[in-house]
Amino acid sequence: MTPPPPCLTSKTSILRPLSLLYLVLFPFRASAFWVLLLALLAVVAVRLHGLAHVALPDYDSVRNWQIVREVAHGDLRNLFHHGSPGFSLVYAPVAWLTADYRVFQHLNALVAVAALLWLVQLVRQELRLAGWEAALLLVFAGTSVFLTFSGRDFTPGSWSLLLFVGLLRAHYQRLRQPGPAALLRVAVWLAAGLSINYKFLLTLPILLLLELLHGGRLLWQPHNLGRVVAVLLTPYVLLGGLGAVGGVPWYRWEAVYYNLVFPGASNAASRAGHLRFDGLYYLRFLWDFESPVLLPVLAAGLAVLAWRYGRRRQLPSLALPWYLAVWAGCYLAGMSLLLKAPRGLLLAYPLLYVLAFLLLRQLFGTSKATGRALLAVVVGFAGLLNLYRVHREIYAYAPTRYGQVAAWLHQHEARPVRVLSTVSLGLAPFLRDADTVAVAMSDAHLRELRQGRYRYVLLDAAWQVAGAPPFSSLAGQTPVAAWPEPLLVSPLLFLEHSEYTGLGYAPTLARQRAARLDSLQLRLYRLPGGIRP
């Protein structure tokens, strides 16, 4: 329990208002449960605000929604799509109850909140944070712009965060209290993460580094190493067998990894390969979109760390802040070598916020009411700035108009709708099961598909977001209807596709500024021969 503030009759009258502010902000500091509950509800409100009125933000989200429905009905052909079979299996029971994409979207957002709460609980437990400190940390990290944005899609990101926190907790305890059982728990969490998201492969080098620095020889003993490998292979055997029962080749999951290492043809944006060094991409993103206190505080902490331990040429002792700093720093360094998008640091954003909070806590101190008040004011103000940026970068790009497109099509078509869409499946969740939407990834592909029985083409501005060439075959034609779709000019959405386009930070935002000059992002064309109303 936090000790009561000292007497407020200090001679330093300038600090007296801060002490009074602490008493105003935390009059019920004895009840940590209620403080944390209020903070949790605030974060949930931020994450879910307006979510019912937006579309799934990208192609992968819609495709995942479709695959989950397929798997729920026994169709396993796409179980290993993107190397994430666990993701489809987790949500398959939900698809037995509803096909509404918004249900999946909201559940995914809540999973991300649960992951953050679990991380805060770890920090509170290990560093003995007071209830109000944990609540401040939860709100500070929970209002992260990118964590809020990523929580509104339907990709494995949210579950990746939850399993990553489980992995962090298990591995930290394994390093603190070594033993074969603790080592196997780490392997179980890692295997679960690999089942949900192939990007958990990126945790392997960091885990091995920490084992070399602090793990001793436990992992390298043959019987322990054999058990760990057996645990890691178990999902591939079990889920590979499940896929084989469904008619999928047993090696389909492993083939995803092969394609990652040896990519085939270039994508619709003419990008091939996965390497692109840019040491400033993520730093610029953190400065422009995340909390403005984040980078300065982390830079100051890094400088102090280098000065304190660089002279001694020794590593800090294994404490939680150092452990989290290794994870965050390695992620930042490693992802700077690859093609970049903000989601590349998905697992690191919560750690960066935690580290910044702990540095501020150490700077102000919490033994006196003045220090506690300063910490509350600075972190609280940083949270308010986060909310301003969340409104500017996320809430302002809503609501969606895909529902209006679907309504227009259903109003003007007596039979099931057959429509082509350019580089996007965004319309699909708003159509009926009997309707058909096909995606054209290029102008040549569009001309080929037009030979089919499709009656409409939706020129979806997602082609600009994905960096595809213009669909010039539609030039000169007059659309039968057109709508704005604010999300398709969002800077965050463009940056999220910079991995797909292969463009750097500044060129991606330049394309976004050019795209937002157009007031209409959804243009519907009737194909020649289509049935008129």
Helix 157-176 to helix 320-335 angle (10° resolution) is 130
Instruction: Return the structure tokens found at 217.
Output: 């020889």
In angstroms, rounded to a whole number, what is the distance separating the alpha carbons of residues 474 and 459?
A: 8
Supply angle C-alpha 513, 396, 153, rounded to 5: 90
Q: Residue 23: its pLDDT value, please?
A: 47
- Give Cα separations from 285 to 160, 307, 351 (angstroms): 21, 27, 16
Q: Where are the domains of the chain?
A: 29-396, 400-526
In angstroms, rounded to a whole number, what is the distance separating the alpha carbons of residues 157 and 164?
A: 10
Render the burial of 232-261: b for 16+ CB within 10 Å, e for the rest: eeebbeebbeebeeeebeeebbeebeeeee
Q: Tens digit of pLDDT per residue, the chain (533 long)? A: 444 444 434 444 444 544 544 444 444 444 788 899 999 999 999 999 999 999 999 999 999 999 999 999 999 999 999 899 999 999 999 999 999 999 999 999 999 999 999 999 999 999 999 999 999 999 999 999 999 999 999 999 999 999 999 999 999 999 999 999 999 999 999 999 999 999 999 999 999 999 999 998 999 999 999 999 999 999 999 999 999 999 999 899 999 888 877 776 677 766 766 777 888 999 999 999 999 999 999 999 998 887 877 666 667 778 999 999 999 999 999 998 888 899 999 999 999 999 999 999 999 988 888 999 999 999 999 999 999 999 999 999 999 999 999 999 999 998 999 999 999 999 999 999 999 999 999 999 999 998 888 999 999 999 999 999 999 999 889 999 999 999 999 999 999 999 999 899 999 999 999 999 999 999 999 987 544 43
Residue 40: which residues within 8 A CB-CB, separation 6 or more?
Answer: 113, 117, 138
In angstroms, rounded to a whole number, what is the distance separating the alpha carbons of residues 396 and 388?
A: 11
Q: If we measure between CA atoms, which residue out of 321, 383, 356, 295 comes closest to residue 123?
A: 321
> pLDDT for 316-374, tens place per residue?
778 999 999 999 999 999 998 888 899 999 999 999 999 999 999 999 988 888 999 99
Sheet strands (E) in 115-175: none
